[in-house]
Structure 1
């Protein structure tokens, strides 16, 4: 719907005893939608390292 916001929630969790190295999450927005904001809730993948977003909203770390 034009002019309305849509909220996506994506949960990623590592259940293994080892660190998940080189993990990347890609979630493409449907055609015509624009990313307004994005955030990662605690805990982050790397303590002390903020998540990085590509211009189209992909979390890099």
Structure 2
């Protein structure tokens, strides 16, 4: 059995992030993900983790 590689964590400054797997033609379809209440989200295709940068706060209005 092979050990799973550690998930890449990408610091972000916005509540919505786009992920395409980062592999160009070897990636996956572009998906837009919204951070949860803890300021994190994981891509369902490639398991990349996106986390709100420390010290960044998001506005909750329009």
Q: If the length of structure 1 is used for normalisation, what is the TM-score? A: 0.28
Q: If the length of structure 2 is used for normalisation, what is the TM-score? A: 0.27
More helix by share: 2
More strand by share: 2
Structure number with the bigger relative contact order (C-alpha 8 A, sep ≥ 6) is: 2
